[in-house]
Amino acid sequence: MTLNVKNCSFISLPTIKDGRDGILCVAEQFHTIPFDIKRVFYIYNLHENNAIRGKHAHREVEQVIFCIRGDFDITLDDGKNQQTIKLQKPNEGLYIGTYVWNVMTNFSDDCILLVFASDLYNESEYIREYDVFIDEVSKIV
């Protein structure tokens, strides 16, 4: 699948199959993750059929999102192009750069999301209203 939204790309982590002892998946900053990792968080227990996550964009923070269990849909929007993709493989993630609005929906009952972020949490860095996002992104050359 090709992404048609700016500042987004697919990330594939290398996997090491260890026979009957499972599969090891490795993420390394500036190698497989294209930034200095300052924060890691995960989201789980999304049992509500109508759960919605995201609904924001970042002015400065870059993120890589993996669905390490189950699956979900993520809709990306760069202010001009929108695209919905399904994340469902634990070693295949999605890089989301700055000024990309994202909305996550349709979580499977067993869904677990893992997120690497380029900076610490800072509420003032978030854009949480879509019309503000459109206004700000329209001013970026």
Residues catalogued as catalytic: 56
Tokens of 125: 């860095």
Distance CA 101, CA 78 (A): 6
Burial zone of 64 (CB within 10 Å; 0-12 exposed, 13-18 middle, 19+ buried)? buried
Please, where are the H alpha helices in the chain?
130-138
Strand partners, 15: 25
Maximal CA-CA distance, the chain: 54
